[in-house]
Amino acid sequence: MTALVGVLLGVLAAVFAVTHFSLTSNTDDLISQSLPWRQREAAFNRLFNAQGDQIVTVIDGATPELAEQAAAALYDRLHSRRDLFRDVRRPDATPFFQQNGLLYETTPQVRSQMAKLVSAQPFLGPLAADPSLRGLAGALSTTLDGATTGQAKLSDLDPPIAALSASLESLRAGKPSYFSWRALISGEAPSKRETRRIVVASPVLNFAKLQSGAGPTSFIRNTARTGNFDTAHGVTVRLTGPVPLQDEEFATLAERAGLIASLALIAIVSMLWMAVRSVRLIGAILAVTMVGLTCAAAVGLIVFRTFNVISVAFIPLFVGLGIDFGIQFSVRYRSEHTANASVRDALIASGHGMGRSLTLAAAAIACGFLAFAPTDYVGLSQLGVIAGLGMFIALGLNLTLAPALIVLFNPPPAAARSERNQLERLDRYILGHRRGVIAIALGAAAVCALTLPFLRFDFNPIHLKSAKVESVATLLDLMADPDQSPNTLEEIAPSLDAANALARRMEKLPAVAEARTLQSFVPADQAAKLAAISDAATLLDFTLAPLVNAPPPTDAETVAALRKTAGDLRTAAAAFSAEGPRAVRLAGDLEWLAAAAPGVRARAAAVIMPGFQTVLDQTRTALTAAPVTLQSLPADLVRDWRTPDGRARVSLIPKGDANNNAVLDAFIAAVIGVAPETTGQPFDLQQGGRTVALAFAEGGALSFIAITGLLFAVLRRVRDVAITMAPIVLTGLLTLGSCVAIGQSLNFANIIALPLLFGIGVAFHIYFVMAWRSGGAHLLQSSLTKGIFFSALATATGFGSLWASSHPGTASMGKLLIISLVWTLVSALLFQPALMGPPPNDAKV
């Protein structure tokens, strides 16, 4: 009946958990919103970042024209899907910046660009009237005529000759072929900033899914694929920003989930077999663990309704500790169930031998977990409550359902083992050299305690992510450009004048590279720049906007023009020996193109000519630049930097590597010294890390106090409590000291392993002390040690398999688990017996 009730309870809990399961992937809710820095963050976001989490699409083109065409097409597609995107922007290509972008260059740069544009006038004019291969050939011939008559230099044609040859020869060889008119006019290779475009979208998120931005992200990728925005067509589209970073992190976590789960299951079952040597007992342990897990999940959903990405970690916590309870009870049962003892008698003896220990261990572990409930780390708080309640569930099932299943499964008695216990020599040595063992342990603890100031908590979540993941690699790429880096600190000033004054103070700080306000968008030296632009616009007026446009050419007209230009090139080559080889090279390319099939010429036109129209349109717009004042700035730009009631934003950019924690720490400290009310991503990350670390420190201290109080209430002896808690402290110091020695920082991921390790350590030491108080001697030779040893191995090999994860944070968790469990065994099997010594005189045998 007990087994039936237990199984029925498990089925009902499983049905409830499945039908009511809810998991939110919204990491913004993991830390309490009531903290002052979180309130400042929320206030800034309400004023200047109302769009919320975003997807940043980074488009890199082989030429500036390809990048612009892809960005414009992608923007149009995203802007049309209001069901997926609340807002879509192109911050680097608004109409305002397209018209006035030149004003943000230096005056020498503007004058140089205008001079190059004017010098290209003879070449641009024919093309503007006839934007085709025929017009291109005609423009080349016209310029060649000028060179042969002495009105121009053939060397002036070196850039277009070299660019056209390279493009046509790539096309001829069947390789990807690109042609940049912007590079041709400027005479310089385009910079990364010129070949890169940004599209920023605010997606509609679904937090009911683990990857909340999966729908909008898939739409962007599908649009890029159907639009041929790929490397084969000279375009690379990459996604980054808060949404892809979070979604791809969850995807990375799941990447080897099957492998890790399989390794964990194999490891756990193998350790169970080595511990109990009975398939039936293994089946009972696993069944009890699964029933308990479903009950704990149901309780968690009843209490909180929704799991978060931290609280769902109750699963490994419960499995690790639940299996420990099962191993302890089953190993004791195995030792009691001999050929001369019935199943019933063995179970009664096991209950008498382990009942109090398991109860005290479960209560102590539950107190430890529940101590995390009051912390500001909401994810950890909920995890503590669920795991704490789960310990009582695990205890109840191991004392009721486990015995019932053992009766039903009726495992055969353990075979008598006559071999000498291999731990006997170690047991005698420790008991014979207690002072030496304790001295070594205290010395190791002291050394580790001295290293604690060197232990670091890495608050930067980027360091927990795989740099191979697209969103992370793209973010790191953007962070190299101060204009694109998200690691800025933000201030809110009462007015623009106050913001400008604060910016001037901030720019004097060595850690600050630049301070921006709305005033930063009013260019300097506009009169000189506008004069240079106006002069060029006057000279190029009819060049860029011809009065008469030629009709599209026939293929025969194109062939004739190509052959004529090839002949002109050969004539010019004969007259100018220095430039002759390059001219002859292009002549051969044009002759090949003229002789090719019409489809080849169509492909050549598709490679060369579309970019000309893009550059022509951009140039016409740029030559209409007008004076920029605060009053003429576009409304959406103003709204990003000043609120309707006059409050103004100051944005601060760090000097140095924005992905380096030391740089960010110095940056934050310098800014906080001047403006204590700062906010921004680096500050929020730093404070988030401190909040998490403080939550674990507070929870750990409360756990220690609660468990110590519970042990006092049960054990009623200061010495016995000290003997129980001292090895736990030693394990903690050895674990943290090892982290310092191997350079392993604590982080948001691996710190979650500490409650599991603390719970296991508490359980192990309580088992030993309770057995010792009951008169147990030479405990290293007992079944208790066997249970502890294999319980630790089951947890270490099972959850240590996380080390195989491709997610750096999860891998570091597996590493920390292995390290800590090794020291847990060392403390339990070496230090604990030395502390206890012979059983007390008043032990109850």
pLDDT tens sequence across 632-644? 999 888 998 999 9
Which uninterrupted H or E stretch holds 589?
helix 580-595
pLDDT at 7 over 70: yes
Task: Name the least confident of 132-146, 160-174, 217-231, 336-350.
Answer: 336-350
Strand-pair partners of 57: 199, 239
d(CA 349, CA 343): 10
Residue that is written with structure tokens 């017996």 in the block: 833
Between 722 and 260, the higher pLDDT residue: 722
Span 294-312, average pLDDT: 85
Task: Name the least confident of 40-54, 60-74, 746-760.
Answer: 746-760
Residue 189 CA from chain centroid, whole number: 34
Residue whose C-alpha is closest to residue 15's, from 357, 204, 298: 298
Residues with Cβ within 8 Å of 735's Cβ and at least 6 positions away in sequence, in order, are 757, 816, 819, 820, 823
d(CA 773, CA 439): 24
pLDDT recorded at residue 845: 39
pLDDT recorded at residue 50: 63
Helix (H, G, I), strand (E, B) or coil at 31: strand
Residue whose C-alpha is closest to residue 660's, from 462, 509, 470: 462
Task: Name the least confident of 143-147, 224-228, 525-529, 838-842.
Answer: 838-842
pLDDT confidence tier of residue 75, bands split at 50, 70 and 90: very high
Answer for the pair 60, 196: CB distance below 8 angstroms, yes or no: yes
Residues 486-500: tens digit of each pLDDT: 788 999 999 999 999
Strand-pair partners of 648: 493, 642
pLDDT recorded at residue 804: 61
pLDDT recorded at residue 419: 44
d(CA 230, CA 70): 10
Answer for the pair 764, 792: CB distance below 8 angstroms, yes or no: yes
pLDDT recorded at residue 494: 94
For every residue of 385-428, DSSP letters joined together read HHHHHHHHHHHHHHHHHHHHHHHHH-PPPPPP--SPPTTHHHHH
Determine the straight-line distance between the first and last CA of the chain, rounded to whole angstroms.
33
Residue whose C-alpha is closest to residue 250's, from 693, 665, 661, 749: 749
Residue 719 CA from chain centroid, whole number: 47
pLDDT confidence tier of residue 257, bands split at 50, 70 and 90: low
pLDDT at 590 over 70: yes
Span 131-144, average pLDDT: 86
Residues 527-538: tens digit of each pLDDT: 999 999 999 999
Look up residue 647 and give its two tokens.
């409050």
Residues 775-814: tens digit of each pLDDT: 666 667 677 777 777 777 777 666 666 666 666 666 777 7
Residue type, 690: R
Residue type, 91: P
d(CA 539, CA 384): 74
Cα distances (Å, whole numbers) of residue 239 to 220, 260, 471, 791: 9, 28, 6, 44
Residue 202: phi, psi to the nearest 5? -100, 105
d(CA 563, CA 505): 65
For every residue of 167-198, DSSP letters joined together read HHHHHHTTS-----HHHHHHTSPPPTTTTEEE
d(CA 101, CA 621): 10
**Exposure of 302 in the CB half-sphere (CA atoms within 13 A):** 12
For 506, left (φ over 0), alpha (ψ -120 to 50), or beta? alpha
Task: Name the least confident of 379-383, 670-674, 751-755.
Answer: 751-755
pLDDT recorded at residue 750: 73
Residues 592-627: tens digit of each pLDDT: 988 999 999 999 888 888 888 888 888 899 999 999
Residue 321 CA from chain centroid, whole number: 30
Residues with Cβ within 8 Å of 119's Cβ and at least 6 positions away in sequence, in order, are 156
Answer for the pair 320, 760: CB distance below 8 angstroms, yes or no: yes
Between 442 and 335, the higher pLDDT residue: 442
pLDDT at 754 over 80: no
Residues 178-199: tens digit of each pLDDT: 888 887 777 677 878 888 899 9
Residues with Cβ within 8 Å of 271's Cβ and at least 6 positions away in sequence, in order, are 790, 793, 794, 797, 798
Strand-pair partners of 680: 489
- On average, the pLDDT of the chain sits at 83
d(CA 845, CA 409): 31
Residue type, 274: M
Which uninterrupted H or E stretch holds 652?
strand 648-654
Residues with Cβ within 8 Å of 457's Cβ and at least 6 positions away in sequence, in order, are 689, 690, 692, 693, 745, 746, 747, 751
pLDDT recorded at residue 108: 93
Span 445-449, average pLDDT: 92
d(CA 278, CA 750): 34
Percent of the chain whose predicted confidence (pLDDT) is above 90: 20
Residues 637-668: tens digit of each pLDDT: 899 899 999 999 999 999 887 777 788 889 99
Q: How many other β-carbons are positioned within 10 Å of the β-carbon of residue 413?
A: 16
Structure pTM? 0.73
**By CB neighbour count within 10 A (0-12 exposed, 13-18 middle, 19+ buried), where does 435 fall?**
exposed
For every residue of 742-802, DSSP letters joined together read HT--B-TTGGGHHHHHHHHHHHHHHHHHHHHHTT--SGGGSHHHHHHHHHHHHHHHHHGGG
Out of 41-45, 107-111, 149-153, the most confident range is 107-111
Residue that is written with structure tokens 């096991």 in the block: 350
pLDDT recorded at residue 506: 93
Task: Name the least confident of 3-7, 490-494, 557-561, 669-673.
Answer: 3-7
d(CA 201, CA 556): 47
d(CA 332, CA 782): 9
Residue whose C-alpha is closest to residue 495's, from 675, 642, 678, 671: 642
pLDDT confidence tier of residue 471, bands split at 50, 70 and 90: confident
d(CA 460, CA 471): 15
Burial 131-155 (b: 16+ CB within 10 A, else e): bbbbbbbbbbbbbbebbeeeebebe
Look up residue 827 and give its two tokens.
């403390």
Cα distances (Å, whole numbers) of residue 266 to 279, 288, 683: 14, 18, 43
